[in-house]
Structures are given as C-alpha cells and as structure tokens.
Chain A
C-alpha cells in the first residue's frame, strides 16, 4: 500500500517537527477544567447545566470531534467510557451502553428519533459527524420522557444552528487508507429574523479484505451521501420557527458465497427526515413547542448469479414514522420547571417476510417536575404514559436527585423505568430458511401460520398450547438504578457511577412446533430476565495548561437470572475437554452474556502547542475478553467455552496544525498498531492512516 507509506512518512515528519520545534512558551490563565457553559438538553428536555444534572451523562463536544478527526458517530462513541460498538449474532453492529445492547438504546437527532434497524441494531456509522455541534448520551432508562427503546440510554445528536450575520462554514477533504474519501461542505448564516444552514457530506471507500483467500471482501466498496438543511425564522421574539430536512443515501456492493457458487448484487439505504417545530413563549412563564416529525427509512438488497443474472434473493424494508408532539414548560420560579407533553406516534413497516404492511399506533403523555426543595438539593420527578395498539400500555416513572455537598462534591442518584415495545419483526415475521429448513414466525401471526403449515402436512407435533398465545406479547422492560458522585478539585475532575439494570420480559425465540423435516418452528416469547451491573469511573486531569489527560473504566457483570438459578440447582452442564464427560457447572464457571467484556477502559492525552497552532492527541481504548457464542451447547458462556475473543486495545493518534487561522491540516492513524482478528471481529480493519485539510470561513 503506497498510500500508507506516504502518509507514514508525512506523519513522522510532522511529529518530529512538533518535538524539535519548541521555542517560546506562553503562560495562559488557568481555566477550570469544567467549562461552565457546557449545557445539555436531553436529560430533562430543558436546557440544563451539565454539572448539575442528576443523571449519568456523557457529553462529546465539537472540539473533541474536530481534534480527533473522526468521521462517523460510532468512532467517537467507541472512545467514551462504558460505550462500545459490538456486532451481535446477526452480524450487524450497534452500540452497547452499561452492557445493554443496541436494541435498547434510543437514537435521537435534535430530540426526534431515528428509525431503521437491522435485527435490532442501529448502525451508527450511518451518521456523519460533519455538522454535529455536540453529542449527548444519557445513560440508564429515560422512558419517562422518550417512551419506547430508551432503556439503556439515549444518544441525542445536536446539529449546528445558524447564530450570526456572517456566513460561517467550512469545507474539508479527508483522504484515508482503503481509498477512502470524505468530503464535507457546511455553511450557515442568520440575517435578522431569518437563518439557514446547509450541509453536504459524501463518503466513498473501497472497503477492505481481511481474508484475501476467501472470495469476496470483508467490507465491500460503498459510497454514501448526506444532505441536510435547516431554516429558522423568528416571527416575533416569542414565536420562532425551526425547520430541518435531512436525506441520506448509501449504496454498497454485496456478495455471497453459497455452496461454492458466487452471487453478487447491491445493497441500498435511503433515509429521509423532516422536522418542524414552533417555539412559542407565552408570557414569561410558559414555553411551548409544537413539533411535527416524519421519517422514512428504506433498505433493499438483491443478489444474483453474475453470469446468468438469475436472482438469488431480493429483500426490501420500508419503515415510516410520523410524530406530532406538543410540549410545554411552565416556570413556577427560576429553576423550578414543570414540563408536560402529549404526542401521537404513527408507524408502519412493509418488508420482505411480512404478509402485508403493518401499522402501529400509539398516544402518549408525560410530565416532569424539576425543582430545588432546598438550595443544595435538586429533584426531578417524571412519568410518561404510553398507550399502544399492539401491546399493553406502559407507565414509566422516574426519580432523580442531585445533592450538592460543596462546590467540589455532589452526589447523584436516579431510579427509572424503561421499556421497549415488541418490534414489527417479533410480531409479524414469517421466514423459512431454505437451506436448513427451520421457520421463524412473529408472535401475532404464529397461530395462523402454524395452521397453514399443518394443512400442508409439515408439522409433526406442536410443542405448546395454542391458548398460551392468546395474550399479547408484553413489552420488554427494565428498572435502572444509578448512584454516583462527582468531585472537582483544582485540576482534577472525577466521576464515579454505580449502575444496575434489571430487565424482565426480554423477548427471545423458542421452538413452538416440530416440523416433519426434523427442524423446528420458532416464535418469539417473553421469558428472559437479565441484569447488568457494574461501575463507571471517569477522571480528567489537567497536567498543565497544554496537557490534558483523561481516563475511564467500566466494570461490568451481565448475566441471565434464570441461568444463575439453574446453575445453583446444578442443572447446567459442560463437557470436560479431556474426558469428554459431562460435568455440572456452578455460578463461578458462568462468564455472563455474549459480547460483554468484564473490563473496558480508555486513556487519552491531549497536547496543545498554542504558539504553533498545533495540537496532538493519543487515545487508547481497551476491552477485555468476551464470549461470542455458546460453543458447548449448554446455552451459557462458561469457562469451558472455546468462543472467547481475546481482550485488545486500539490506539488512535491525531495531529492538527492550523495555518493562517482558517486553514488546518490533520494527520492521523486509527488502530495505530494494526490490531486485527479476522475470524472474530470482521468489523475491525487494520491500521487506517488519514490526512485532512479543512478551510474555515
């Protein structure tokens, strides 16, 4: 790879220039490590100062996005304490927070949800960071404000808004390994009452191949485009319009090897979002927001024989969400805010393996009271009620407390309820694997489909009572507990948070009938009860004005409660690898749920040389070993399993140099030490070198 060599030498050049070129040293005023202007909106739906929020929050600033040179959302989230991207059994990737899978993490953009998941996973690499102002991650359940899916956490992406009369913007071009090109153009302006912003991004890559001996690439070539525009218009000081539209398109080559036959095709994603909002101030006490949101997500893939053009498979997915919502915040007195909201969700999905387009309807209302019973004590009480067409209605309460012991120390604690509605697939799927012969049926169509199969003579016997499917599938739910403390002392800022999430009614598949071909018919049911518990530590240390260090650590235990009971009773077994005989296991042999690392940690160093307009940073992210699947047939990951992925650390380095205030050059390497595990982690490319030029105007 010639490009890599060129970039490496450039890289070393800049690095040595930075080390040997040190001359003068300018003493700057020391600033508190906690920026006082850091505010977030996700935790309460009102603007809140970060340090006073009684919930575990991770805030990622634009500055961090720029300095690290990341281009997609998953890259920067991976560098935050307790947040990792994992691929599940389906092969799709999503984010894991506090040990909770992507299915249970809500993704918002400017407060409204993004849809379009693959087997429950939201692919965060779909989202460019080019126009992001900040990313807010609230950990733990937030269903009291956001309803379904907000069990493990909420990730809210806040985009840049126009703020003054001058045209601001930037244009950048980034070139990286694997022939990857990323281009951003962005500008915004506010002219009196009217403001606008426009943004375009394109990303092209040749992909990569970790196993050249196998036909087809590990990641096939792709190209995608993101366009977005925002308009603001202030009718009066008290009535302001916000309108935004976004369009995303991706096209990727697809291939598949079946029984030594090679198929190729295309995989497309089209996504659109339209978000309208009126902000209305009524007197000095009422703030109203009238919001309308529509989004559509389409994915399609086909595979065909490259010579005969015979179609092997074609799958389509078309999801719509329409959501009007009205919110009001009433200020009883400063810092005492009552927020109420009502809304309506209309959702439908048409896809391959569904008989027909299916529709969900739900109505909801929520209320939250955020107040200070005493000067040092902040209390947030909230609850939301969701009424849904397909499952039992849900009431999601939440309590959060912040107690400020002193300027340096505050304690925070919260308890909340979270739920996730059964998704379309769990209710309406009708899929038969043509190679192996098993069938998967959605809960709501299972009885009818089983009868159809029986009439075709394909059912040997039923394994369940038909009457057991009379009650609707219940929503998956959790209760999350978080208890933490924040300590700010001089140059050190330290955060600790203990968490526990108790899940029940998790939806999983079980065999409901045996087919005459010896295979099973599976359907979904509520049965799993799991917990994730552990602790998160975050420390920031200002070594000098120009050197900032930070470190983070998460300890995690994620286990299935019923499996623990079965282990106590001696009902779970493994095979001794030497004698091949069965041995009974106990809890000490139980590693936990798949894809969960006991330890994750990160370490970052940011180094600034203001006199040369230069800065550099090194970020190291570690995760300890984890189990990929049950390899010994006892349905748990235990010490006898052979499917463990070794722990590993990834290092990323970025160098930035600004010229003449407005021009900047960036050089860097992701996965600096070229760590690869082709067999277990196909999503992990080797070292990727990059360089970027950016013009600010």
Chain B
C-alpha cells in the first residue's frame, strides 16, 4: 500500500509538472491518503435481547480521527453497527442526526482490487435500515455464537462517499482491542475497530489507489 502511495505521489508530481507547462487552471491535486485507523472504540449499551443504545463514535476521513462534530463526520460506529452521515435517522436510540451527503456500498474483493468509486450506486441510511446492513453475514461481519467471535468477513470492502462528496474505501481488520490475530471471544475486549482506509481528498476524484 505504501508503495502504491509513493508511486501515486510521483505520478501526481509528474502530472503537476506537466500541468505547469500547460497553461490551464486545474486545481493542484492532493495525494490520496492510505492509512490505518487503530482501535476506534464503538461502545454500546443493551443488546442480547435488550434495547440497544449509547452514542455512536463518529469518524472523519478528512482528519483521519474520531470527531465530536455534529456535521463534519462521515461514518459512525456503535457495536457492530456502522452509520453513515447521509440519508435519515434509522429510528434506533441515541443516533446522530444525518446532515451530510454520505453513502456506502459493500464491495467484494481484496482491498487493492477496489481501485475506483466511479459507477458505484451508494446507499444512504433510511428509516428502519442502515446503508451498511446490520446482522451477521448481512454486511461487513460474521458472528460465530460457538466461540462468541465477531469476524470481519474477508473480501468485504466498504466504499464510502463522505459527507462532503469525496470518496474513500475501508476494510475492517478487527473488532477487538489491539487487533489480535486470533481473538478469544470470551477474553479479548470487543467493539474496537481497526481498519485500513484510502481517502481521496480531491473534489470529484473517484480514484482509490
């Protein structure tokens, strides 16, 4: 991934030089960001038959960090549920207001194989359902009750349109604190997201590599 980013940076520099020779007004492109977010906490209350509640943890791709802003967030986590800042509230307790234009699409492939967001139809949160489907095997994760483990389904890449119309892709790597390779469902602390993401900060640019 790092390699790809470097190549891209060089490419951009090259394009930038070429652009200098031409006399046009293209804005200067910013490098695509390829990062890992570690242990983003996603606490929730209730569950196991009780009503689910608690605040969502909001995340911004532009800053690459958790945010408390009511507007400048793209996705938000609570337990295994991921909300997007686009569409309407779903009706669950304690969820944030949607005031952006974010959307999501669950793509299949390796992280590298998703190269572009062009042509993707994004879904937004609506009354009664999340853009990223909830429940085991419906969206990004699988739950195995025998060993009490939530596993990010391999090959599920979330392509995100951010609240302000930019594009990103993310792959959840772990749902457990410290992202252990072999989590123990009865010991390791859950509801901590570790994910790789690529964010293209350039307006209207769909390239994700």
Please report A residues at the B interface, Cβ cutoff 8 Å: 434-437, 460-461, 511, 514, 516-520, 571-575, 577-578, 580-584, 629, 631-634, 642
Contact = CB atoms under 8 A, between A and B. Distances in A.
Given A520-B137, A571-B155, A575-B173, 19 more contacts: A461-B129, A514-B135, A519-B136, A573-B108, A573-B109, A573-B154, A573-B155, A575-B154, A577-B181, A578-B181, A580-B179, A581-B173, A582-B171, A584-B155, A629-B146, A631-B147, A631-B151, A633-B142, A634-B153
A581 B48 contact: no
A582 B157 contact: yes
B61 interface: no
A575 B152 contact: yes
Interface in B90-128: 108-111, 113, 128
Contact of A574 (B144, B154, B179, B196): B154
A460 B135 CA distance: 12
Given A514-B135, A520-B138, A631-B144, A435 B154 contact: no
Enumerate the 7 nearest inter-chain pairs by beta-carbon distance, A residue then B residue, closest first. Answer: A573-B155, A633-B142, A573-B154, A580-B173, A633-B151, A575-B154, A518-B135
B110 A573 contact: yes
B110 A580 contact: no
A459 to B, nearest CB: 11
A460 B151 contact: no
A436 B143 CA distance: 11
Contacts of A572: 155
Contacts of A582: 109-111, 154-155, 157, 171
B182 interface: yes
A434 B129 CA distance: 23
B190 interface: no
Given A519-B135, A631-B144, A581 B110 contact: yes
Contacts of B146: 629
Is chain B's binding surface mostly helix, strand, loop or mixed? Answer: loop
B129 A460 contact: yes
Contacts of A517: 49
Interface in B154-195: 154-155, 157, 171, 173-174, 179, 181-182, 194
B204 interface: no
A583 B181 CA distance: 15
Contacts of A584: 109-110, 113, 155
B145 interface: yes
Contacts of A583: 110, 154
B182 A642 contact: yes
Contacts of A436: 145
B77 to A, nearest CB: 15
B82 to A, nearest CB: 13
B209 to A, nearest CB: 14
Contacts of B174: 580
Given A575-B152, A578-B181, A520 B135 contact: yes
B8 to A, nearest CB: 19
24 contacts: A434-B49, A435-B49, A436-B145, A511-B137, A516-B128, A517-B49, A518-B135, A520-B135, A573-B154, A574-B154, A575-B173, A580-B173, A580-B181, A581-B110, A581-B111, A581-B173, A582-B111, A582-B157, A583-B110, A584-B110, A584-B155, A631-B147, A631-B151, A642-B182
Nearest to B172: A580
A292 to B, nearest CB: 45
Contacts of B171: 581-582
B79 to A, nearest CB: 10
A629 B149 CA distance: 13
Contacts of A518: 134-135
Contacts of B48: 435
A572 B155 CA distance: 7
Given A437-B49, A571-B108, A581 B196 contact: yes
A566 to B, nearest CB: 10
Contact of A632 (B128, B154, B173): B154
B191 to A, nearest CB: 15
